[in-house]
Structures are given as structure tokens and as C-alpha cells.
Chains A and B, each alone.
Chain A
Amino acid sequence: METKRAAAIIKNVSRLNVLVIGDFFLDRYNITGEPTISPEFPVLRSAVREQLDFPGAAANIARSFARLGAKVSIAGFLGENEAGATLARILERDGIDTAGAVRGGKTGLFMRIVSRNGKDVAHFHRLDEPQEHPAHAREHVAAFVKKNVAKFDLVFIADYAENEDSVIDASLVASVTRTAKHTAGMSRSRIDLFKQITWVFMNKLEAAKLIGKPDADRHAKTINQKIGSRNVVVTRGRHGAVTSNGTEIAAIMTDVVDPCGAGDTFASTFCASLLGGADENEAGNLAAQAAAIAVGQHFTYCPSGEEVIDAVARANSESQDLDRLAKKIEDYKSAGKVIVFANGFFDLIHSGHVLMLERAKQLGDVLVVGINSDRSTRENKGPGRPIMPEASRIKILSSLRFVDHVFVFDELTPIKAIMKLKPHVIVKGGNFTPDEVIGKNIVEAYGGRVEVIIPETGFMTDDLIRHIAVPQKAASRPKAKRGAPARARKSAKTHRHENKRSRS
């Protein structure tokens, strides 16, 4: 998919009005250090270091639409308990209109005990406080939908609660499908309610449970017929997704850090993209990109529209626009992440580069790599360079798991990029002193630092090019004379050996 096309679709998403109806929960992560054994009982004991709150269930769907750029309202209820107040605050901070949610009852709270040591996270325990909806919540939601449904381009019904606790019932679903322009939904246990919904999302396990076949994901059409909905999408984790229309959506290969909420991200991106003008294939591709971003982050993560576009650009081996990247870096910094910056020509990428970048990533949370454009490389290195064109260099660097962002700069130096991105750490590989690293004065002016990493392999591209060029000359190279320094004799021997090997 072309990046321009992805950007156009995402731009259209910003014109959408979306209503999310359902069960709005709060996911809470109590982050602890390394657990020890309690002296009182043989149980794990840990001190809570940090508490992180994320919107869960329908609230995650709402946030996911909002992060893509849509205008989002919710209908349901937000409890009068602390979880409800916290959730309302988070949703409003993300620009989500909560006027359609009645205040009362108890918002469901899902509390995780999580141990975090550096970047390693281990989930230990989950404690659930179920929701209790207030009296008349269903009537309120039904009245809100009746009055406002015409304003929305899409109504998404997210049914996460147990049957008796949900604000969603058959009459509400029927009312929505009758009156809304477009509908979508997902349900943990009452998929039979979702007849006539335009797009129904379920995961592989839910699908298997529904039709009693372990390979149910291969039978999306059968599921569709069984439910009576218009379209079904079955998400299959690392195997991608399949629609009842037969569209196979490939997953984006990535390191899975935390899959929590990725299904919500997939569903919201898929729907938003379709309404933004995408066809099913395009919507699937964008949804897969968004889900890949979500699973690559700790805890529940909703990627922004910009991030999805960047992911498409990366898949197309395009570099990231520096302005867009700068905005993203700001977001990372707001989240307390340490930004590491490395730059270079990366012309003939070798193990020295890879080791340097791997070690650079260890110095922070986000590794941004700037590469000299082809023109910049030519002006810096002379005629005949670069050997590898820009697109190839981007593709290789982008595929390294520890490289988060790659961009190209056209200047002779990365000065401008460093001034714009203001990384915490500038890393330079090779035999440089810190005083020789471009950007040192800039980064130190705002409290950052420079780190020089000398790769263990000692590789340098220039050496590599010379090394490749040597055998051509070696044939005419004279033998080292008796009495010549040992290094010269060794060198001559090596060249003879190379010639012999190349003849064979």
C-alpha cells in the first residue's frame, strides 16, 4: 500500500463521528519491583512502585478511534467509584465526549500485578472488580442513541460484560442496526444479538466456540451465515485475519511485547479505514499495521494515525518525515522515554553497524537512526558512493528489531535533525572521540550526552571497501622479500592464500 494512499485514508478518518456503546472498564497496572518471598506466608511479596491506568474494553475501542483522529462519543455509564472517575478523566483527556455516559453504579476495574525490571515485564496476578450498572442505565443509553444516532457515521457496540451486567440488550442492538448509518461490534458471549451489524469482529477462540470447530477461523463465511450479520472478521493473532468475503489479511511480523487490546486496535482501525475510503484489503493492511504497533508496546497501547502512516512508510522502505518524527519524539518524551540518536551513512551495512545499534538501543527506550541521503553521502564520501542506494539502506536498518525509527537527512551533517529531535543521547560508532561527534554542543546545551561505541569487530565500511578492492591488485603484488618486516611477509602470505582460494 502506498504511503500517500494510507495518509489520505487516515486524513479522512479525522472527519468521522463515531459513537461507541458498551462496557467501559479501567485496566490498572500495579508495577512492582522484583518479588521476594513473604516472611509471614510462602507467598510472593512486592512493593508497588507505580500505578498505570488505561481505558479497557469499550473504552479502549473509543480511545483507539480517537487516537486515529476520529471524533468519538461514548454511550453507557461511568461509575461513581474511583475507577469510574479515573476512566472519565482519561477519556476526556483524549478528547472523547462522555456526555452520553450516565454517571452512577460502579465501573469495572481490572487490576494487574506486574513486575517490571528494566524492560522485562512479568504479569503475576489479576484482580477483577466487576461493573455494576446504575438503575435506568439501559433506558438512558437507549434514549441517547435514539436522539443522537443520526449524528454519527459509525456506531460501534462493544459488549464485554456478562449478560446480566451489560447496558447492551437485544432491543438496543436492534435499534442501532435499524437507525445507524454504519454499525460494527464485538461480543464476548452474546454474538447472537449482532444480527444485521455491518461488521462483526471476533477472535479465533470466540469463533471456535461459536461453531464448534478448532479451525473456525477458516470458516468466516459460515460464521457470518450463523450470526446473520453482514460481514465477519476473525482475527488470528500472528496468522493475521480473515473476512467473510474471503479477504486474507496478513499479520505484520513484529516482536510481541503485550497483545492486550490489539484486537480492539485492529477492529477500530479496520472500521475507520473503511469509512475513510479504504477497500477491504487496504483497511486490513492498515489494521494489521496498527495492531503490530499495539502488540509491540507494553500494556494497552493505541497507535495514532501518524504512527500507522509511518508504519506503512517503513513497510515501503521509506524514511520518516522529520517533522512527523519530531512530533512522535515529543510524545515519547512525554511518556518518560529516553531517546537515543545514531546517524551515519550505513553504506554496506556490516556487523559493526548492527552491534553498535544494538548497544545504542540499550542506552534508552527509543532508537532513532538518521542516514545520509544518497546526495549527502556522495558529497561526503566522493564519487562512487553510496554503494547501496538510500532505499536499500533504509530497508535494512528498518528491519533491525532494535531500530525504532529511520529517517533520511539531506544535509551534509545531522545538525538540523539533532536540533529538531533533541535526543537524550547521541551515539556514534567507530573510532571517534566524543569531541569529534557532531551534535555534541547541541545535545549538551540541553543536558543530553554523547556516547561513543567502539564495535568489537572493529569493522569500518571504508576498510571493507578497501578489503574488497585488494584481491584485484593482489595478483600483481610482489612476494615479500626475505628480511622484510614480519607484517609485510604475513600480508603477502595472506594475499597468496586469497588468490589460491579465489582460483579454486
Chain B
Amino acid sequence: MKTSDRDPKTYIDIAHSFVNRSDLPDAEKKLIASELERYLKVQLTRNQWLEPAITKFCTDWYREFYRMIDRADPYRGVKDLSRRHAERLTARFKPATFGEILMFCILGNKIDYGSLSAHTPDFAELEQDLRHSAAEALDIDDSAGLDRAIRKARQVMLLVDNVGEIEFDKFLLGYVKKNGTARILIAGKEEPMLNDATVHDLRESGMSRFGTIVSTGSDCFGLHEEYVSPAFKKEFKTSDLVIAKGQAYLEFFTEYNIANVFNVLYSKYPIVGNGFRLPPHKKAVISSKRYAHPNNRRYDFG
């Protein structure tokens, strides 16, 4: 997905949203946010160069925010809150079928403080969603293909998304462990980025019970070749099934010609990529065969 495929106002809004979460004095927050807004407006109105790949652009844009607040982690508090709520909810429900497990994973993807305050999760609503999940249907359903791939794979890599959400992913990892013979890799970010799960968060959540925790080597959205580590690329290359959670990984993979990826997500923004479209508020399990195309970029595994 391209940077230009999204309303530019979104990028200004996320700057305000992020800075407002920081511990800076209010006057300083206001000044920083207004100057970041000025910068982006000048870039846009004067047709200055903007990184075309949306996940890379957003990585650079968010990294700038972190630099503005001296790399403090303004999402620490909401990450702890998410984990507590998710643990409480996952203790109450036990999805039985593969379909229910995937639906739980997708509903868990609603726990996202990622970009805007508008997406602040409502845990009471989430509880209701989970209660009625059996009646829910997927908007894009490639789950049968995913199930087959799980049973055949020798190495499965789960690219996780948010803290809290990863508690729901444990159901899926349990299923993979029970129904396949694969080596399981669970990949998190190396450094904090919004409320995305880092390797530290994965360890804290006891994810190592299900497989080997690996770091992408970066804090970037997606898996940009110049940002992720060579060690990660090696594991990524040798995984014959990649399950990628969340919107950012779908935005990233739609740029590439990689056919062994399944995206599992609840969409928050419209997603557009090389002929593929997904409106917001959709629950989806998407095989990358739907968008992978020989004309797309080839991933450089190094």
C-alpha cells in the first residue's frame, strides 16, 4: 500500500495523537505537534518527496515522534492495561473450533492504541464481541487454506501485532502446535513502537511456551529489508508459512510478491494494494495469493 493511498490528514492526526500521549508539559506538546504538522503540510503542499511505501513512511514518521520525546515510551501504561484486560477475557472464553480461534485472534486485533485516540479499544464491547463470536462471519475467509498450510508446514512464523492481542494469539499457537509438526517462531519488534509487542513483551507474556521468540531486529512497521536484521531475514526465508497479524503487515505485504503469507486482521483504515482493497471494520483471513503478483517487489532476503 502506498503512502498516497491514505488521506494525508491522517498523518497529521497521528502526530497530534502521539505527542498528546507523552509526558511533556502541555505547552511543549502543543508546540511540537504544531511544528510537525507544519513540516508535513509543507512537504505535501510543495510536492516534496515522501517515502512511497506506507509502512516505511509511517515508521520514519513515528520514529520522529519518539525522537521528539527523547525516546520515552508513552505506550507503556496502555500496554499494561491491554495485557490485564486480555488476560481477564481470555480466561473467560475457550474457542473450540479453528474458525472460533481465528475469530478470537481477529477480535483481539481490536486492541490497538496504535495511531489515533479514535481507535482506543472498548474492552466491554470486545467482551460482547467475544461472547457473540460464534455468530460472526469473516468478510474475507481464506481460513481453509490457512488450516491446510498449518498442517503441512515445517516452520511457521507468527508475526505478532499488539500487546494484549497476543494473549488471543495463544489460542492459534496452541492450535498450530497441536495440529502440525512445525517449528514455531513468534516474531516481535526489537524496540517499542506504539503498543506493538516487542520481544520483551512476548517473553513477559509467556509466549515461549508455544515456540521460539525471535526479534525482527527493528521497530519498523512491516519487514523492510533495510531495517530488519540479517538473522531475522534468514528465519523469515526458511519459514514455509507466515501468519501476519494486523493491518500494517497487510499494507506491507501487498507491495511484495510473497505467496506463503496469511494475514489475520481486523481492518481499521481502508487498505489498498496492487488491485486489492479492504474497507475498514472488516474481519479477514487473507492468503497473500490474492495480492501477490510477479510485478510486485521481490523481497531481498540478503
A residues bordering B, Cβ < 8 Å?
379-382, 410-413, 415-416, 419, 432, 435-436, 438-442, 445
Contacts and interface: CB of A to CB of B under 8 A. Distances in A.
Given A380-B49, A416-B67, A441 B35 contact: yes
Nearest to A381: B49
A438 B68 CA distance: 14
Nearest to A375: B60
B35 A412 contact: no
Interface in B157-175: none
A385 to B, nearest CB: 8
Given A380-B49, A382-B49, A436-B38, A411 B31 contact: no
A415 B68 contact: yes
Contacts of B38: 435-436, 438, 440-441
Interface in B1-57: 27-28, 31-32, 34-36, 38-39, 41-42, 46, 48-49, 51
B191 to A, nearest CB: 16
B68 A379 contact: no
A441 B39 contact: no
14 contacts: A381-B49, A382-B51, A412-B39, A412-B60, A415-B32, A415-B36, A416-B67, A419-B32, A436-B38, A438-B38, A438-B39, A441-B31, A441-B34, A445-B27
A379 B51 contact: yes
Q: With a 10 A CB-CB cut-off, give which of A380, A381, A439 has the most chain B CB atoms.
A: A380
Interface residues of B, number: 19
A432 B27 CA distance: 26
B64 interface: yes
Interface string B49-85: 1010000000010001001100000000000000000
Contacts of A382: 49, 51
Contacts of B51: 379, 382
A439 B32 CA distance: 9
Nearest to B46: A436
The 4 closest A-B pairs by CB, nearest first: A382-B49, A415-B35, A412-B64, A413-B39
Contacts of B48: 380
Nearest to B70: A416
Nearest to A444: B31
A130 B18 CA distance: 67
A411 B64 contact: yes
Given A412-B64, A415-B36, 5 more contacts: A379-B51, A411-B68, A413-B39, A432-B42, A441-B34
Nearest to B52: A382
B62 to A, nearest CB: 11
A412 B51 CA distance: 12
A414 to B, nearest CB: 9
Dominant SS at the B interface? Answer: helix
A465 B217 CA distance: 36
Contacts of A442: 31, 35
Contacts of B32: 415, 419
Contacts of A439: 35
B67 A436 contact: no
B127 to A, nearest CB: 41
A345 B238 CA distance: 41
Contacts of B28: 419
Contacts of A445: 27, 31
Contacts of A415: 32, 35-36, 39, 68
A445 B36 CA distance: 16
Contact of A438 (B27, B35, B46, B60): B35
Nearest to B49: A382
B30 to A, nearest CB: 8
Contacts of B60: 379, 412
Nearest to A435: B38
A406 B49 CA distance: 25
Nearest to A410: B67
A84 B131 CA distance: 88
Contact of A411 (B34, B42, B67): B67
A432 B46 CA distance: 10
Contact of A413 (B41, B46, B64): B64
B36 to A, nearest CB: 7
A419 B31 contact: yes
Contacts of B36: 413, 415
Contacts of A438: 35, 38-39, 42
Contacts of B39: 412-413, 415, 438
A386 to B, nearest CB: 13
Contacts of B42: 432, 436, 438
Contacts of B67: 410-411, 416
Nearest to B28: A419
Query: Which among A435, A436, A440 has the highest number of chain B CB atoms within 10 Å?
Result: A436
B45 to A, nearest CB: 8
Contacts of A440: 35, 38
Contacts of A379: 51, 60
A413 B35 contact: yes
A410 B42 CA distance: 19
A113 B302 CA distance: 72
Contacts of B49: 380-382
A426 to B, nearest CB: 11
A416 B68 CA distance: 6
A446 to B, nearest CB: 10
A436 B42 CA distance: 6
B228 to A, nearest CB: 17
A416 B42 CA distance: 18
A411 to B, nearest CB: 5
A435 B46 CA distance: 13
